[in-house]
Amino acid sequence: MARRAPVLVVAPGAETTWSTGDDLTTQAAVVAVDASGAPQAYGSEAALSVARRHAALRLQQPFSSTEIFHPELARAYLRWLMARTGCRGRHAVMAVLVPSYPAGAADVWRQICEPLEVGSVMVTRPLAAASGLGIEVDSGYASLIVDVTADTVEVAVVADGRVLVSRRSSHRDPHDLAPVIRSTLVQVDPDLEWDVLSGGINVVGRAPEADWAKELSAVTGLPVKVTAEPERALIDGALVSLEALRPYISTVMPRASRLLREVLAGFGH
């Protein structure tokens, strides 16, 4: 039986999560570089290398969940992931979860991925989160997604298979976050706002404190639902998005598209 073409789903951040099947792997998004800036090690191995060889190496963070600090190191980090997972060659597909705000984030990641030996697809985190939480994102019913990452919070309204409006906040305190949520809701049609008010706030990511969700609910007057497995929700949602994007993939990656249905059917089973 022919070996399946791998699908690598990457949720980049200060701690990057990736998966090619049931198992999730999370490591720090750091690279150990030498005096010339050349990469020497990645992830936990990079941290250990720097600890052992203080003067010879230094740690660099190539990207966070919202920013890319060193494009070449970001590309090197992805190459390392590909080597670890066997996601290489013309039939392989890599999905990268990117924020929908600020505008252009997907384009920057796409430029980084273009030279890699793999077909790459960008999937916005709010849509992946909604799909992974079991929300029917292609319906006209609007849902509010609050994506809490290590360095920022994205507030987004999703409906009709897209992100309608998105705002970013560097503050996680419920009293600071509530105005951002309100300013996001006033940007959508009143009927869609009513959908959100009825459905409440769907949080993906790690709640900063034990009572954070309860306090956010009290401040906004909306029910708050926090998933227990945020990384799994994002990965699963990205796979749903990949299935929906098969017509697009068939245009930009004809060789990969004919295997994608089989690959996705076997992913996680």
**Residue 156: CATH number of its domain:** 3.30.420.40
Query: How many separate domains does the chain show?
Result: 2
Segment 233-253 mean pLDDT: 71
Give the separation between CA 129 and CA 50, rounded to whole angstroms. 35
Residues 115 and 241 in one domain: yes
For residue 69, the enclosing domain spans 7-25+65-127+233-266
Q: Is residue 38 assigned to a domain?
A: no
Residues 147 and 85 in one domain: no
Cβ-contact 25, 19 below 8 angstroms: yes
Rg (alpha carbons) of the chain, rounded to whole number: 19
Residues 86 and 114 in one domain: yes
Residues 153 and 218 in one domain: yes
Residues 113 and 198 in one domain: no
Residue 248 has pLDDT above 80, yes or no: no
Q: Is residue 190 assigned to a domain?
A: yes
- Out of 19-33, 147-161, 230-244, pick the least confident: 230-244
Can you give the pLDDT at residue 261?
Answer: 52
Residues 103 and 154 in one domain: no
Can you give the pLDDT at residue 205?
Answer: 85
Q: What is the DSSP string of the chain?
A: -PPPPPEEEEE-SSEEEEESSS--EEEE--EEE-TT--EEEEHHHHHHHHHH-TTT-EEE--B-SS-BS-HHHHHHHHHHHHHHHT--STT-EEEEEE-S-STTHHHHHHHHHTTSSSEEEEEEHHHHHHHHTT--TTSS--EEEEEE-SS-EEEEEEETTEEEEEEEES--SHHHHHHHHHHHHTTS-HHHHHHHHHH-EEEEE--SSTTHHHHHHHHHSS-EEE-S-HHHHHHHHHHHHHHHTHHHHHHH-HHHHHHHHHHHHHTT-
Can you give the pLDDT at residue 113?
Answer: 93
Q: Is residue 55 assigned to a domain?
A: no
Residues 72 and 18 in one domain: yes
Residue 2 has pLDDT above 50, yes or no: no
Can you give the pLDDT at residue 32?
Answer: 96
Q: Give the pLDDT confidence of 24-48 residue by residue, as tens digits.
A: 999 999 999 999 999 999 999 999 9
- How are beta strands 15-19 and 25-28 bridged, if at all? antiparallel
Residue 256 has pLDDT above 60, yes or no: no
Residues 85 and 160 in one domain: no
Can you give the pLDDT at residue 251?
Answer: 53
Q: Read off the pLDDT band of 259 (50, 70, 90).
A: very low
Residues 21 and 79 in one domain: yes
Residues 151 and 105 in one domain: no
Q: Is residue 261 assigned to a domain?
A: yes
Residue 263 has pLDDT above 50, yes or no: no
Residues 113 and 173 in one domain: no
Q: Give the pLDDT confidence of 81-107 residue by residue, as tens digits.
A: 999 998 877 678 899 999 987 778 889
Residues 69 and 197 in one domain: no
Question: Which residues share a beta bridge with 11?
Answer: 17
Here the CATH number for the domain that contains residue 18 is 3.30.420
Mean pLDDT of the chain: 87
Residue 262 has pLDDT above 50, yes or no: no
